[in-house]
Amino acid sequence: MRRLWESPRLRWQEAWAALRAHPWRVTLIAAPWLLGLLTALPVLWYEMDRAVRLPERQAAHDAVENAAQSMLRRLGRLRDDTRFLAFLTPRLLESGSQAQLLETYTSFLMAGGDYHKVRWMDATGRERLRVDQDAGSIRRVPGSALQDKRGRPFFENALHLQPGQIHLSPLDLNVENGRIEQPLRPTLRASSSFLLADGSAGVAVVNLHGNVLLERLRTRAAQSGFSLYLVHPQGYWLLGPTPDDAWGWQLGQAGHTVANFDPALWAAMQRRPSGDWHDWSFSTLQAAWRGTEGDLLAHADPTLGQLRLLVHRSRLPAARWKAALGGLALLGVVLVLWVVLGQARGLARELAYMQRLRDSNEALALANGHLQAAQQELARAERLSSLGLMVAGVAHEMNTPLASAQLALGTLRSGVARLQAQIMAGLRRSELESFLAEAAGACALADGELRRTSALVKRFKQVAVDRASLERRRFDLAEVLLDADPRLRRGGLAEGIALELDLEPGIAMQTYPGPLEQVVANLLNNALLHAYPEGKGGRIRLAARRDGAAQVRIEVADDGSGIAPEDLARIFEPFYTTARNRGGTGLGLHIVHQIVTEVLGGRIEVRSRRAGDPGDVPEGTCFTLHIPCVGPESVAEPL
């Protein structure tokens, strides 16, 4: 028993020792497991949430649609029953059989089930015959209790309709003798007019017991696992979370609305006729019916089709899978800790072998340090090579004007010394005039050469600014192309390689000179590196021409060794090079392609043919740039 206790303790001690000695190594061991766990859990969470919520949401939509279709069918039967009653009533009245009409109304209520009142009224709105059903008991209302319904919308609207047309009232609380009936009785009334034998009008009215309809909707939704509610277009509950929440607009309870219950839910319901909001799904009756209602709403109260069905989805399934996922996550953490513990123990055992390898590792580290230093120096040299080339070009260009200015100043200094001697000996007018003329010439020469030097400095300063920033400006194309490489102005790129310049003058551009210079410089360096094997000479041609009114065509062509067909399709891929042993990095042409297409807004083409290969293309390689004269207004920083 003691050994069983000591074994886990020993494992923890070994793991703790490894963690203290090499915390980063233990972290690296644990990181993939933890990263995998942290990656898998959100994905699993999302997929499980999707697997649970999508069917649940669809089921909620089905519950809304089923409830709407159930109401549609019931209202359709109510319409048909009312039309039948309006058709039958005048015929029975014409026959003079009041008893048969009463029997018909009684049978109608018994067969209807959820009808609680049937009646007909004359053209003045006075009830002439009315039969009520209450708690299964059917009775005829005596004449003294018959009411005048003149002014009630269900009567007035039906009176103005053609016979056979049906008016459906809002679903609201029943009113008797001007007061809301107690206990509350939600009612939906269907009414239709008819003509009597004497030409006067009558109206048949059928009252549908709303509680029966609402309870049927609630029960069917509950059987599917949902809570169903019915909402007035103004946000009041008809079928609410509690019975006390319903009919607030008739009972003077203005706060019993969806807006007070959940403002965000009500806002979502206001934005669209049907949809979802968190755990709720909703739809108006008219949206859920999808045009299947026919003429049912043709003469109905406008609020009827705008009643909103609201279904609340239970959070229990989501809570269950979240709890299951939490347990799974805990199990995963325990498993990861166990695996990391085992690997940490293995690391602890390896520490014993580390000491014997330390001396050789120190020597290896020293050699590696020298190698890294050499690599850093090489990288530094590569970075400075471009700068050195530019400085050399500046120095070469400035040498001639500065030498001329120095010569002019030397001449002027000699003239001053000679003038001083002549003054001591007695200066003549002719000698003074000669000195002034000579001094004026020397000053003019020095001024001109210094101005030339200043222009060179200004131009190279602009080149440096263009290379260091991404600013669109107006410039002359030929001047910028010559500034791409200082060797272009000297007329030679390398020993044995001639330079041919064919630059159309006067081409004004409004684009990014720095990236354009970098493109041309990269293409020239690419030709020097790849086109001519060591010791072979040739010719490189740089040309620029207008290509229509809105763009230019720039060509960098060589007559060198060409590019193999299998390499030609990949030359713009990053890090692809056939001259890595000669310093190629595989980035030059990739950067060219990126700058041309993404910064300058143009395109680049390449054609090439090696010596001996068939084809009409000249031997060598030609890169053609099609650049718009006006570049994009804003671009990303080039590579």
- The answer, yes or no, to whether residue 120 has pLDDT greater than 80, is yes
In 3D space, the residue among 491, 500, 603, 504 whose CA is nearest the CA of residue 544 turns out to be: 504
For residue 375, what pLDDT band results from cuts at 50, 70 and 90? very low
**What pLDDT shows up at residue 1?**
45
Say if residue 218 is in the same domain as residue 74: yes
In degrees, rounded to 5, the angle at the alpha carbon of residue 8 between the alpha carbons of residues 5 and 10 is 100
Three-class DSSP labels, 409-467 = HHHHHHHHHHHHHHHHHCCCHHHHHHHHHHHHHHHHHHHHHHHHHHHHHHHHHHHHHHH
**What pLDDT shows up at residue 124?**
96
Task: Tell me whether residue 306 is in a domain.
Answer: yes
In degrees, rounded to 5, the angle at the alpha carbon of residue 187 between the alpha carbons of residues 184 and 191 is 150
Say if residue 267 is in the same domain as residue 370: no
d(CA 453, CA 402): 7
Task: Tell me whether residue 36 is in a domain.
Answer: no
Output the six-digit token pair for 30: 């644990």
**What pLDDT shows up at residue 95?**
87
Residue entry with tokens 């609630």: 218
Mean pLDDT of 172-177: 90
Say if residue 537 is in the same domain as residue 556: yes
User: Which residue would you say has higher pLDDT here, 50 or 226?
Assistant: 226
d(CA 318, CA 527): 65
Range of the domain at 389: 358-468
For residue 265, what pLDDT band results from cuts at 50, 70 and 90? very high
Alpha helices by DSSP H, listed for 469-512, are 477-482, 486-490
Mean pLDDT of 543-571: 90
Q: How many CA atoms lie within 13 A of 467 on its CB side?
A: 19
Task: Tell me whether residue 178 is in a domain.
Answer: yes
Tell which of 247, 278, 312 closes a domain.
312
Count structural domains, the chain.
Answer: 3
pLDDT tens for 135-167 read 779 999 999 999 999 999 999 999 999 999 999
The CATH number of the domain holding residue 86 is 3.30.450.20
Say if residue 261 is in the same domain as residue 383: no
Say if residue 564 is in the same domain as residue 528: yes
**What pLDDT shows up at residue 405?**
73
Task: Tell me whether residue 5 is in a domain.
Answer: no
User: Which residue would you say has higher pLDDT here, 48 or 179?
Assistant: 179
Q: Give the range among 281-295, 374-388, 433-447 with minimum mean pLDDT.
A: 374-388
d(CA 205, CA 117): 8
Task: Tell me whether residue 331 is in a domain.
Answer: no
**What pLDDT shows up at residue 605?**
94
For residue 382, what pLDDT band results from cuts at 50, 70 and 90? very low
**What pLDDT shows up at residue 487?**
81
Say if residue 107 is in the same domain as residue 227: yes
For residue 113, what pLDDT band results from cuts at 50, 70 and 90? confident
Say if residue 258 is in the same domain as residue 383: no
pLDDT tens for 10-36 read 566 666 666 666 666 667 666 776 677
Alpha helices by DSSP H, listed for 137-238, are 153-159, 210-223
- The answer, yes or no, to whether residue 307 has pLDDT greater than 80, is yes
Output the six-digit token pair for 421: 């001697």
Mean pLDDT of 439-454: 71
In 3D space, the residue among 297, 303, 281 whose CA is nearest the CA of residue 59 turns out to be: 281
pLDDT tens for 268-278 read 999 999 999 98
Mean pLDDT of 551-571: 89
Tell which of 468, 496, 513 closes a domain.
468
User: Which residue would you say has higher pLDDT here, 349 or 306?
Assistant: 306
User: Which residue would you say has higher pLDDT here, 492 or 66?
Assistant: 66
Say if residue 67 is in the same domain as residue 118: yes
pLDDT tens for 56-95 read 788 888 888 999 899 999 999 999 999 999 999 999 999 8
**617 phi, psi to nearest 5 deg:** -75, 135
For residue 316, what pLDDT band results from cuts at 50, 70 and 90? very low
In sequence order, the 6+-apart residues with CB closer than 8 A to the CB of 593 are 572, 604
Residue type, 636: A
Task: Tell me whether residue 133 is in a domain.
Answer: yes
- The answer, yes or no, to whether residue 514 has pLDDT greater than 60, is yes
Q: Give the range among 171-175, 209-213, 367-371, 549-553 with minimum mean pLDDT.
A: 367-371
For residue 351, what pLDDT band results from cuts at 50, 70 and 90? low
**What pLDDT shows up at residue 168?**
96
Q: Give the range among 188-192, 263-267, 615-619 with minimum mean pLDDT.
A: 615-619
Say if residue 511 is in the same domain as residue 610: yes
Would the pTM of this model clear 0.85, i.e. be above it?
A: no
Task: Tell me whether residue 562 is in a domain.
Answer: yes
Residue 296, classed as helix, strand or coil, is coil
Task: Tell me whether residue 377 is in a domain.
Answer: yes
Residue entry with tokens 């706060």: 255
Pairing of strands 492-494, 274-277: unpaired
Question: Is the distance from CB of 180 to CB of 252 less than 8 angstroms?
Answer: no
The CATH number of the domain holding residue 570 is 3.30.565.10
**What pLDDT shows up at residue 61?**
86
pLDDT tens for 408-422 read 788 778 878 887 887
Say if residue 431 is in the same domain as residue 542: no
d(CA 91, CA 84): 11
**What pLDDT shows up at residue 21?**
64
pLDDT tens for 448-490 read 667 666 655 655 555 555 555 577 889 999 999 988 887 888 7
**What pLDDT shows up at residue 580?**
64
d(CA 317, CA 321): 6
Say if residue 436 is in the same domain as residue 484: no
DSSP states of 18-71: HHHH-HHHHHHHHHHHHHHHHHHHHHHHHHHHHHHHHHHHHHHHHHHHHHHHHH
Average pLDDT, the chain: 81
Q: Quick one: what percent of the chain has pLDDT higher than 70?
A: 76
Tell which of 468, 485, 501 closes a domain.
468
d(CA 288, CA 64): 8
d(CA 65, CA 290): 10
For residue 440, what pLDDT band results from cuts at 50, 70 and 90? confident
- The answer, yes or no, to whether residue 524 has pLDDT greater than 80, is yes
**What pLDDT shows up at residue 610?**
86
- The answer, yes or no, to whether residue 567 has pLDDT greater than 80, is yes
Say if residue 448 is in the same domain as residue 502: no
Q: Quick one: what percent of the chain has pLDDT higher than 90?
A: 36
